[in-house]
Amino acid sequence: MYDERLTAPPAMWLLPVGSAISFGLIFMIFGPVPGLIGLVAGGAAAAVLLSSYGSARIRVVQGLLVAGEARIPVEALGEAHPMDREESFAWRTHKANGRAFMLLRSYIPTAIRVDVTDPKDPTPYVYLSTRTPDALAEALVTARAEAARQTAAQGQ
């Protein structure tokens, strides 16, 4: 089993602080109470947006790769390719295929690319930002082996 949440790094939480100050200053022209309301509302809205952006999860559970809202059976996946910083950058820029499923976060430098082998699916590969590409690749190999073993057991 594998479970990772793509949370935003601590430095990004300065953005809601900046938004709060900006909204507070903008609404201060109407008086101190609207300024305080702008401060609180602007900071809260920015914090909710950042939290939502960082709530994406990647999981390998019960024979599925769950990445964000995508649920892909491991039987439909081929080889997993863990990528370092440079290779990840190349695959999310000039090497990217427009038909690929991509769950990427710019603040996570490493990723994994998993080939999609289902002939009915036009998606060539799945690109996932992950802090632990090797662990995710190993979890996919284990899940595919387990699914194959269960399929073989059901066939007997």
Does residue 68 fall inside a structural domain?
A: no
Q: Is residue 59 part of a domain?
A: no
CA distances from 92 to 16, 19, 65, 68, 140 (A): 27, 29, 20, 17, 21
DSSP readout, 43-65?
HHHHHHHHHHHTT-EEEEETTEE
> Does residue 15 lie in a domain region?
yes
Mark whether 84 and 145 lie in a shared domain: yes
Helix (H) or strand (E) holding 66: strand 64-67
Domain of 128 in residue numbering reads as 74-155
Q: Residue 152: is its pLDDT beyond 90? A: no
33 in a domain, yes or no?
yes
pLDDT digits (tens, 9 = 90+) for 76-113: 999 999 999 999 999 999 999 999 999 999 899 999 99
Specify whether 148 is located in the same domain as 80: yes
Q: Is residue 63 part of a domain?
A: no
The phi, psi pair for 106, rounded to 5°, reads -65, -25
pTM for the full model? 0.84
